[in-house]
Structure 1
Amino acid sequence: MQKKLSDDLNTTAAHAYGRERPSPRTTPALTIVSHPRPQRVGERLLLEMLAAVGRTASLSRNAPDFSLPGAGMALPLGDPFLSRKPVQFEPGTRGRLRLVVPEDGTQVRVGTQPVRGSREFTLEELAAGVPLELAGRVVLLLHLAHAPELPGEGDLGMVGHGERLRRVREDVRRVADLNVPVLIRGETGSGKELVARAVHQHGPRRDGPFVSVNLGAMPRELVAAELFGVQKGAYTGATQARAGLFRSAHGGTLFLDEVGEAPPEVQVALLRVLETGEVFPVGGQAPVRVDVRLVTATDAHLEERIHQGLFKAPLLHRLAGFELHVPPLRERREDIGPLFMYFARQELEATGEAWRLTASEPQAEPWLPTSLAVRLVRYAWPGNVRQLRNVARQLVIGSRGLPHLRVDARLEQELDSAALPLPVPTLSVLPPPAFDDTPEPEETTPPRRKPSDVGEQELLVGLRSCAWDLKATAERLGISRASIYMLIEKSSLLRTAGDLSPEEISRCFHECQGDLDKMVQRLEVSKRALRRRVRELGLASA
């Protein structure tokens, strides 16, 4: 039993991060999102003792110490409004993690919900991240993490220390010194150009030019001329010869964003450049030799575009000499606090108020209010890092001259409208007995309930806990299977397999290599219904 939490942590981390073989170093962690001393945002505490031997971890005002991953200096939370009497983290029932709050200790909230006695979190909830507010002064994110990066590894210009971002850094280091094309995939606003610059700056071409172009922003009829150059008089308006972006990037790196938008004739020319190292200027008769490393990026599902006849398969194979996947911000919530403070610092420096982030008064109110910090880590961030930067700018400018950040009603409503669901309490009792090796009793079937008694968040947690098996979820919640269908249909948080577009299913199928269980975890729909959709699309004979 003492090894169960550690084993389950590794299994869950493997699903959460898409790894086939779990790391033995996965452990619960706490990352500071808001603190009266803003410079402490991003510091982390690994609760390694929980994963290692099933012991209890304590957290109070005076201990243990938090530090930035890879840094030497470490300090306790130290806020005088926090109690010296510690809250406890310990192994819970059936592989969960239990938070135990003493009656006369620090007030703890999960989001906005107070914790009385104890509360348990599933490993799926830990993988997503759970915001904990302490005494209205400090916000911590409880999540899963791996061991910190070693000192000297560097951040490669990327802010954050979450596991997903760490894997991106590792991939950049693996490929940067190789002369192979790199394809970067990720949602819009997730930071693909930043990753491309890291590949360039840490490779042998770092002293050469880095030329960036967004193909989606170019008029289609001018793309070829802009990329490959043009001879004078090649077409109406070509009043002078131009070298083109490939020759401008000679000896360095050319970054093509939104490569999926390249017109067919440009795709053919790109394939020729990759195969021969030569470009043909528009209107020219002779090829021009270029020495360029090509890095491309897309938020499109290129395999689906190939199926639709919009993208050439041989070009994809040549572009993807090595693939990098940039995670969306909602999958790296432990990085939201440090990223927000990074962007806020830039705006404060522009307004002459950077001193607000150097507060040292122990009784000062947090510059980033805890209610706002919780909203930031719960928000789904459809625009990813770019959207977070814009929100930070809006908040800083809108709060100029004020001692703390102020959120207007419109932004507050926006952040609440797309908030990720909070965990539903599984326990609210007095602190349970200490962890031991005695077998867990079998769960009894819950009493029958009315469907109206089951809230949306409880339904979501039940579905996730049962791996989206509707029959098992119905038994767990004490309602009929027909009621499960009805509740899903009415829910604003959930969708059915029928709501998924063919493109989304196809993209997920290829990214999960046809593993239906992985697809269910990612798409969060019924396995049976998803299998039917996969068959209908001809993706597999499941």
Structure 2
Amino acid sequence: MEPKHPADMSTPAGRDTSRLSPSVHGVPVLTVVAHPQLQRVGDRLLLEPLVTDGRPVSLSRNAPDFTRPGGLLSMPLGDPFISRTPVLFEPAPRGGVRVHVPGDSTQVRVAWEPLTGGREFSPEELSVGVPLVLADRVVLLLHRTSALQAPGPEDLGIVGQGEGIRQVRDDITRVADLSIPVLIRGETGTGKELVARAIHERGNRRDGPFVSVNLGALAKDLVSAELFGAQRGAFTGATRDREGFVRAAHGGTLFLDEVGEAPPEVQAALLRVLESGDVIPVGGHEPVRVDVRLVSATDADLESRIQQRLFKAPLLHRLAGFEIQMPPLRARREDIGPLFLHFARQELEATGEAGRLSSSEPRARPWLPADLAVRLVRYAWPGNVRQLRNVARQLVIGSRGMPHLRADARLEQTLDAEALPLPGTALAAPASPELAAPAPEAPEAKAARRKPSDVGEQELLEALRASSWDLKATADWLGIPRPSVYLLIDKSSLIRTARDLSPEEITRCYNECGGDLDQMVQRLEVSKRALQRRVRELGLGA
């Protein structure tokens, strides 16, 4: 093996780079998204010298070593198609990173755009995450992390090492052995029930039942009976006594998903359970004592629903004895590779093809092609982890009997349509003319590039209205990255998202507009794409 350049010694043997000084914040890191040896997915390299003393880091086939967070072994990328001539990562102004590719080094692409010579990536670009493709085989995500502590001994059944998920694990550990109610907030599909189960299994009630109830899926006229039980003859069809989910969870944990959908009478009864521990079955008069721990979850803005008199403020205060915030998948893109591999492994085991993941032939064609990995890591994932699991299943089943995964044209279009672009760039995937999706009309005027923090709530609202709630057109109008539009909408008190709309409101608007999606967008003032997904989920127009 050739001697290492001094800059290659950024992770010398025996040094623990997973635990840095608390004064170091926002260290650039390279995380493996795809590699011909699939066990390498999730390995990472902290580019610590860039921020500690301004030294560059050289990346070649043979050095430096990537380490699995919490793991003991460390190895270089090792792919024989990656050059021994290193690619240089150098510090850039304001905490950015400059990538320099010598002429005789490895071919590097930023998504589908060849990187020749050198290019600087700003802190804003690093916050989104920059997919780097080496030799058309290995995909690395260049991003930043402030979660530099070593991971705990348990993953709690939750895949990922992004700092958002690390915080979730810490929160679970802190609250699991207490008896207080827990409210889990987060977008649909982020894994809120998984967190609830982890709280139950680590708590003092682990030997008791875990009862999971989706309030949004219960018939409105039967919610009270389903939750609190009913006496025989209490209503038409009540031919026997019904225990109810709350009493079924006695001695254990009751998980209420979509708690924001609870009708007013159910909210009042839940408040009684939390305050007194008593349940009164439908048709009954005597309270029944119960001992349950309540963990609830919502993707709705409960504070907004309180203002609209749709949710009781005292109930929110009791539910939120402790809050856990689930990060959306687009905010933890370093976890997409390990999550995809986790779900793909489950599907391969189900189809009897798990051996595909154990190939160690260094020159083999990657089972997860680089271009597909780039599409996965750049997609906005509006359905979050649940959607990623479904895509993994579709890819594995659709590629049965093939040597590598293959996405059909329809899936590629879906992934490309809502890709998160790098700020200030247009990294469109290559597509044949007949497959290319029509580009949205450009707004009449584009603003110069500026900081998202300079955009006020009223200005954002006016830009969304002017752009007919097209988020890409809005981003162009304001001169900010599209990912920033998502973040500004999430923080705004003036703007709702499609996930905030109740099924009843969507159904009513659908009927009043005769199914015209454009009219619905103007009336509800939400993203057309997101509203279309909700309409499909509700089975309207099917």
TM-score by length of 2: 0.77
Give the equivalent residue in structure 1 for 2:118. Answer: 118
Could you tell me how far 1:310 is from its partner in structure 2? 0.5
Could you tell me how far 1:505 is from its partner in structure 2? 3.1
Q: How does 1:364-513 map to 2 (within 5 A)?
A: 364-424=364-424, 488=477, 493=482, 505=494
Tell me if the contact between 2:449 and 2:479 (Cα under 8 Å) persists in the aligned partners. Answer: no
> Is the partner of 1:195 in helix, strand or coil?
helix
Partners of 2:479 and 2:408 lie apart in 1 by: 31
Partners of 2:171 and 2:64 lie apart in 1 by: 33
Could you tell me how far 1:494 is from its partner in structure 2? 8.9
Q: How does 1:199-348 map to 2 (within 5 A)?
A: 199-348=199-348
Q: Deviation digits for residues 460-514 of structure 1, max 9, x if unmatched?
A: 677689999x9xxxxxxxxxxxxx99951799959989x9699753689xxxxxx
Q: Note closer, same or farther for the CA distance 1:169–1:106 as it changes in structure 2 (3 Å cut).
A: same
Q: Deviation digits for residues 168-215 of structure 1, max 9, x if unmatched?
A: 111111111111000000001111101111111111111111100000
Between 1:277-286 and 1:266-275, the stretch displaced more is: 277-286
Tell me if the contact between 1:423 and 1:461 (Cα under 8 Å) persists in the aligned partners. Answer: no
Aligned-residue Cα RMSD (Å) equals 3.2
Q: How does 1:186-205 map to 2 (within 5 A)?
A: 186-205=186-205
Q: Deviation digits for residues 238-292 of structure 1, max 9, x if unmatched?
A: 1100111111111110000000010100000000000001111111121111110
Give the equivalent residue in structure 1 for 2:36. Answer: 36
Give the equivalent residue in structure 1 for 2:430. Answer: none
Partners of 1:200 and 1:75 lie apart in 2 by: 37
Give the equivalent residue in structure 2 for 1:358. Answer: 358
Partners of 2:42 and 2:358 lie apart in 1 by: 15
- Counterpart AA for 1:63: A
Tell me if the contact between 1:488 and 1:494 (Cα under 8 Å) persists in the aligned partners. Answer: no
- Counterpart AA for 1:351: T
Q: Note closer, same or farther for the CA distance 1:264–1:227 as it changes in structure 2 (3 Å cut).
A: same
Partners of 1:485 and 1:396 lie apart in 2 by: 36
Q: Which structure 2 segments of 5+ residues have no match?
A: 1-21, 427-440, 460-472, 498-542
Partners of 1:293 and 1:462 lie apart in 2 by: 44
Between 1:142-151 and 1:100-109, the stretch displaced more is: 142-151
Tell me if the contact between 1:489 and 1:495 (Cα under 8 Å) persists in the aligned partners. Answer: no
Could you tell me how far 1:396 is from its partner in structure 2? 0.4
Tell me if the contact between 2:31 and 2:42 (Cα under 8 Å) persists in the aligned partners. Answer: yes
Q: Note closer, same or farther for the CA distance 1:221–1:364 as it changes in structure 2 (3 Å cut).
A: same
Give the equivalent residue in structure 2 for 1:46. Answer: 46
Q: Which of structures 1 and 2 has the larger relative contact order (alpha carbons within 8 angstroms, sep 6+)?
A: 1
> Is the partner of 1:133 in helix, strand or coil?
strand
Q: Note closer, same or farther for the CA distance 1:71–1:489 as it changes in structure 2 (3 Å cut).
A: closer
- Counterpart AA for 2:477: I
Q: Deviation digits for residues 398-449 of structure 1, max 9, x if unmatched?
A: 00000000110000011000000124479xxxxxxxxxxxxxxxxxxxxxxx
Q: Report % sequence identity.
A: 65
Partners of 2:444 and 2:144 lie apart in 1 by: 26
- Counterpart AA for 1:204: N
- Counterpart AA for 1:245: F
Partners of 1:107 and 1:43 lie apart in 2 by: 21
Could you tell me how far 1:152 is from its partner in structure 2? 4.9
TM-score by length of 1: 0.77
Give the equivalent residue in structure 2 for 1:18. Answer: none
Aligned residues: 447
Q: Note closer, same or farther for the CA distance 1:500–1:128 as it changes in structure 2 (3 Å cut).
A: closer
Could you tell me how far 1:94 is from its partner in structure 2? 3.7
Q: Deviation digits for residues 41-86 of structure 1, max 9, x if unmatched?
A: 1111111121222211111100111121001011110000001111
> Is the partner of 1:505 in helix, strand or coil?
coil
Could you tell me how far 1:146 is from its partner in structure 2? 3.5
Partners of 1:492 and 1:124 lie apart in 2 by: 9
Partners of 2:158 and 2:106 lie apart in 1 by: 34
Tell me if the contact between 2:147 and 2:162 (Cα under 8 Å) persists in the aligned partners. Answer: no
Q: Which structure 1 segments of 5+ residues have no match?
A: 1-21, 427-451, 471-483, 509-542
Partners of 1:368 and 1:504 lie apart in 2 by: 41
Partners of 2:115 and 2:454 lie apart in 1 by: 21
Between 1:52-61 and 1:87-96, the stretch displaced more is: 87-96
> Is the partner of 2:372 in helix, strand or coil?
helix
Could you tell me how far 1:96 is from its partner in structure 2? 1.9
Q: Deviation digits for residues 366-398 of structure 1, max 9, x if unmatched?
A: 100000000000000011011100000000000
Q: Note closer, same or farther for the CA distance 1:344–1:105 as it changes in structure 2 (3 Å cut).
A: same
Partners of 2:334 and 2:490 lie apart in 1 by: 30
Could you tell me how far 1:93 is from its partner in structure 2? 2.8
Q: Note closer, same or farther for the CA distance 1:331–1:487 as it changes in structure 2 (3 Å cut).
A: closer
Could you tell me how far 1:309 is from its partner in structure 2? 0.7
- Counterpart AA for 1:353: E
